[in-house]
């Protein structure tokens, strides 16, 4: 099984870690945290041991179902509500149920998830329940015109809902331009603008897009688009949106440079201006997160591979408090340095 660093280094870092896995009976990753009914719910992916060699397409991340976790206090008992959705109950899905998210509207709970269809193309599906913990019943088809991975649904204060999504390499975003598949999918050249995450207003029924997805542009300090070769700042995957003091904060993973970064805008569509790093690299390859306010404090949910001693596709959800400075900038977190 692939490891990102040697075991001795993992043990050293585990001793310095600022937080510990919230559950240890299963492997969990890609946590999307929400407050529903005054309770904190976490919607993670469910890592399993797959006998597949590590590769850049992420075939070793061969997840087959989803559990829902919850707690009534930030350091309280974590309840595993069991399997909320299984791939065998999704008619269109073939394999690889990756990072999900959830939303609530008019008494219904909507669960969004990426999975490869029978042709090995990533689509985004939706399942519905009367309860935040599920179980969820999948729609018979993926969302129309959906592609790529990592859906994140943001409810704005005006009652509108937006989906942010996308991921390059194994997430297949490089296969598309203007939401259309291209014959030879590849990343832009280093000097060209980086591929953008996608954003779309949701239809009132929460089951489809209300518009064609748009590019979410991230600009540098000079107002120029982040370049494809700028791997320390360009979008890779793990889109998330939250709002703080009237500003929209788009956060994401840089992928192969292993950082969580963020950019800020006055508009949910952007453009967004790059601001900095939220979380420095953790144990493992991937970094995926969510940011949520719960009982007047802001928390970052993320994952690492500490519980599995660095095995990259066996990860565990963690969390830590985040802080903003007087300018609204997020203070960078070192996962191995207690503040």
Alpha helix (H) ranges present in 280-329? none
- What is the mean predicted confidence (pLDDT) over 175-186? 91
Burial class (CB in 10 A: 0-12, 13-18, 19+), 313: buried
Give me the pLDDT at residue 4, please.
47
Give me the pLDDT at residue 12, please.
87
Dihedral sign computed on CA atoms, order 142, 148, 149, 151: negative
Residues 230, 151: Cα–Cα separation, whole Å: 24
Domain boundaries along the sequence of the chain:
7-321
Q: Of the candidates 153, 237, 225, which has an alpha carbon nearest to the alpha carbon of residue 197?
A: 237
- What is the mean predicted confidence (pLDDT) over 280-304? 96
- Confidence class for position 22, pLDDT limits 50, 70, 90: very high
Q: What does the DSSP 8-state code read for residue 170?
A: G
**Can you tell me which residue has the tokens 């310095």?**
16
Sort strands 272-279 and 218-219 into parallel, antiparallel or unpaired.
Answer: parallel
Question: For the whole model, what pTM was predicted?
Answer: 0.95
Give me the pLDDT at residue 7, please.
57
- Give the active site residues: 30, 237
DSSP 320-338: EE--B-TTSPBPPB-TTS-
The three-class DSSP label of residue 163 is: strand
The answer to whether 34 and 43 have CB atoms below 8 angstroms apart is: yes
Give me the pLDDT at residue 53, please.
76
Asked if the model's pLDDT at residue 2 lies above 60, the reply is no
The answer to whether 73 and 84 have CB atoms below 8 angstroms apart is: no
The answer to whether 99 and 150 have CB atoms below 8 angstroms apart is: yes
Asked if the model's pLDDT at residue 103 lies above 50, the reply is yes
Which residues are 181's β-sheet partners? 176
Give me the pLDDT at residue 3, please.
44
- What is the mean predicted confidence (pLDDT) over 25-35? 98
Assign domain 7-321 to a CATH class.
mainly beta
- Confidence class for position 1, pLDDT limits 50, 70, 90: very low
How is residue 276 written in tokens? 């900095």
- Confidence class for position 338, pLDDT limits 50, 70, 90: low
Longest dimension (CA), the chain: 52
**Can you tell me which residue has the tokens 């390059």?**
168
Q: Which residues contact 135 (CB under 8 A, 6 or more apart)?
A: 83, 84, 85, 129
pLDDT > 70 fraction of the chain, expressed in percent and rounded:
97
In this predicted model, what pLDDT tens digit does every residue of 44-80 receive, in sequence order? 999 998 777 777 777 777 899 999 999 999 999 999 9
- Confidence class for position 231, pLDDT limits 50, 70, 90: very high
């Amino acid at each position: 099984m692939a490891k990102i660093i040697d075991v001795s280094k993992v043990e050293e870092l585990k001793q310095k870690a600022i937080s510990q896995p919230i559950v240890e009976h299963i492997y969990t990753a890609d946590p999307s945290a929400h407050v529903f009914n005054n309770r904190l719910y976490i919607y993670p992916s469910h890592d399993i041991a797959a006998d597949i060699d590590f590769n850049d397409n992420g075939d070793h991340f061969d997840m087959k179902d989803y559990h829902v976790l919850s707690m009534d206090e930030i350091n309280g008992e974590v309840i595993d509500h069991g399997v909320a959705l299984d791939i065998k109950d999704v008619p269109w899905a073939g394999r690889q149920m990756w990072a999900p998210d959830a939303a609530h509207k008019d008494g219904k709970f909507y669960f969004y998830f990426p999975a490869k269809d029978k042709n090995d193309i990533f689509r985004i599906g939706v399942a519905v329940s009367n309860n935040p913990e599920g179980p969820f019943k999948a729609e018979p088809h993926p969302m129309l015109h959906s592609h790529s991975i990592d859906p994140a649904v943001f409810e704005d204060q005006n009652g509108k809902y937006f989906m942010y999504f996308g991921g390059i390499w194994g997430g297949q975003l490089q296969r598309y331009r203007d939401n259309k598949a291209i014959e030879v999918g590849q990343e832009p050249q280093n000097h060209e603008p980086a591929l953008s995450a996608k954003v779309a207003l949701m239809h009132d029924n929460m089951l489809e897009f209300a518009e064609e997805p748009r590019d979410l542009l991230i600009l540098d300090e000079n107002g120029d688009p982040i370049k494809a070769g700028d791997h320390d700042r360009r979008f890779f995957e793990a889109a998330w949106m939250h709002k703080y003091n009237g500003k929209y904060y788009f956060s994401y993973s840089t992928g192969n440079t292993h950082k969580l970064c963020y950019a800020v805008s006055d508009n949910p569509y952007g453009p967004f201006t790059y601001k900095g790093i939220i979380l420095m690299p953790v144990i493992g390859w991937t970094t995926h997160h969510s940011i949520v306010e719960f009982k007047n404090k802001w928390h970052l949910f993320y994952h690492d591979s500490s519980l599995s001693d660095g095995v990259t596709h066996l990860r565990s959800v963690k969390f830590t408090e985040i802080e903003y400075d007087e300018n609204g900038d997020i203070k960078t977190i070192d996962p191995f340095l207690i503040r």
